[in-house]
Structure 1
């Protein structure tokens, strides 16, 4: 019992220690022109996907309305 408590105390002391900061320099390997081109392409893709989502939602609403009208007649 005593050894378990001492083991827990040691673990708590180790967890309370602050981690050492390691300075790492990040290097950007992509050029600015290429990065802008990639961002524009992703933006265009996202806008196309958003438009397809809106169109799909509208079509689904039409189908729901049509099925409702058809089943109530």
Structure 2
């Protein structure tokens, strides 16, 4: 092997490398532009209170949905047992 010999890649490998480099460059540019657009937004106390109230309501509704599902399953089991006897 001579010191001047270079590795040769198949054409599909070189085109794949080219596409990866293009994607990397595009991603870098996109990240730079989005970081410039980022704005520090702080919520006021009123908005935080509203969000806390909404999250509490959502958690209550989720709990009621879970309880209702469990009760429906219990009823289905009892009806199945009753009808098979």
Query: TM-score w.r.t. structure 2 length?
Result: 0.53
Cα pair distance change 1:13/1:62, threshold 3 Å: closer
Work out the number of aligned pairs and report it.
68
**Residue from 15, 23, 26 that aligns with 1:15:** 23
Distance 1:24 1:72 in 2: 65
Where in structure 2 are there 5+ consecutive unaligned residues? 1-10
Question: What's 1:41 paired with?
Answer: 53
Query: TM-score w.r.t. structure 1 length?
Result: 0.58
Distance 1:54 1:16 in 2: 46
Where in structure 1 are there 5+ consecutive unaligned residues? none
Q: How far off its partner does 1:72 sit?
A: 1.4
**Residue from 53, 71, 83 that aligns with 1:59:** 71
Segments of 4+ in structure 1 off by > 4 A?
Answer: 8-13
